[in-house]
Amino acid sequence: MNVFEMVVLIVFIGASAGVLKSYFKRKNAAASDSFMDDLATNVDTHIKQKINPCVARINALEQRIQILERIVTDKNHNLAAEIDSLK
């Protein structure tokens, strides 16, 4: 093999390596994007499942606070009757 053939072979190997590197990089990036989208969807679902009971509890507590505020601020109501109705 002469020098010219060796130079052509080295250039060809270098160019092929660059093309393969770009191909695998793009392929891994697409797979990674798909994986991250799936992960985000799963995390969102999990978070919503954890938050929903908390939101329901907060709403119930807000209703109780509104009732207690009404009892405290309304002088015309019978306090004992209101407390008994809450039980």
Please give the structure tokens belonging to residue 60. Answer: 């119930």
Query: Which of the four pLDDT bands, split at 50, 70 and 90, describes residue 2?
Result: confident
Q: Determine the straight-line distance between the first and last CA of the chain, rounded to whole angstroms.
A: 99
Query: Which of the four pLDDT bands, split at 50, 70 and 90, describes residue 64?
Result: very high
pTM above 0.85, yes or no: no
Q: Which residues contact residue 77 at a Cβ distance below 8 angstroms, ignoring those fewer than 6 apart?
A: 70, 71
